[in-house]
Chains A and B, each alone.
Chain A
Amino acid sequence: QSALTQPPSASGSPGQSVTISCTGTSSDVGNYNYVSWYQQHPGKAPKLMIYEVTKRPSGVPDRFSGSKSGNTASLTVSGLQAEDEADYYCKSYARSNNFVFGTGTKVTVL
């Protein structure tokens, strides 16, 4: 199972929005609504930000939103704040009872 494709980096100024893509195939992202997104600060465990494509766990700010079109899922962070600077990973359920993560995107707040 190949990793989902994410851009290596993304950036924006405070208050701006940034969108991260996560491209898979019809065997994973395109066929299941089990896409989740994680934020990871250096040296820390990942944190769940979005599950089932669009849902936010309790405590996650509504500045974080998810969507999906075809084989590509996206995470949008609106109103960027300094603490949003981190690595972000998508994950999808895949055919044949597997899960696959994305390659990861480093978000920089300029």
Chain B
Amino acid sequence: EVQLVESGGGLVQPGGSLRLSCVASGFTFSSSWMHWVRQAPGKGLVWVSRIDGDGSPTIYADSVKGRFTISRDNAKNTLYLQMSFLRAEDTAVYYCARDYYAGLDIWGQGTMVTVSS
């Protein structure tokens, strides 16, 4: 079965760090470009970051540049998002998704990140 499963979300204090993981199965992960997308409660979708199949290059939204790092381990079929210097406005459900001709055709179920003291 083709699927993506995120984990690693939770409650973190402002200024803290968190690492999200996304495990892929059912498709050739190593040749797939991958994205992170987030959605604040009751709000719209926001693109966060993309990584190419071999790990480079990586690109980021301005709002997370310098604070978030996207990476991958193709041997483990796993995508990561290392989030640092977290702010209240980073509170959201974070989705990983596979790139398909610049569309996103496979999505995970999402993992909730709450930044609060």
Bind each other: yes
Contact A46 B104 (CB under 8 A): yes
Within A64-110, which residues are at the interface with B (CB < 8 Å)? 89, 91, 93, 97-104
| A1 contacts chain B at the CB level, 8 A cutoff | yes
- Interface size on A, as a range, is 20 to 34
For the complex, what is the distance from the CA of A36 to the CA of B99, rounded to whole Å? Answer: 11
B101–A55 CB distance below 8 A? yes
Interface residues of B in 71-117 (CB under 8 A from A): 95, 100-105, 107-110
CA distance A98 to B61 in the complex (A): 7
Contact pick for A98, options B59, B105, B107, CB 8 Å: B59
Among A1, A36, A103, point to the contact of B44 (Cβ < 8 A): A103
A51-B103 CB under 8 A given contacts A98-B47, A101-B45, A103-B44:
yes
Interface size class of B (residues with CB under 8 A): 20 to 34
Chain A positions within 8 Å of B108 at CB level: 45
Q: Closest approach, in angstroms, between the C-beta of B46 and any C-beta of chain A? A: 6
Question: Least Cβ distance of B21 to chain A in Å?
Answer: 17
Given contacts A45-B95, A52-B101, A102-B44, contact A1 B62 (CB under 8 A): yes
Is the CB–CB distance between A36 and B107 below 8 Å?
Answer: no
Q: A34-B101, A38-B104 are in contact. List 13 more A-B contacts (CB 8 A).
A: A36-B103, A36-B104, A48-B100, A50-B103, A51-B102, A52-B102, A91-B104, A93-B102, A97-B59, A98-B47, A98-B59, A99-B35, A104-B44
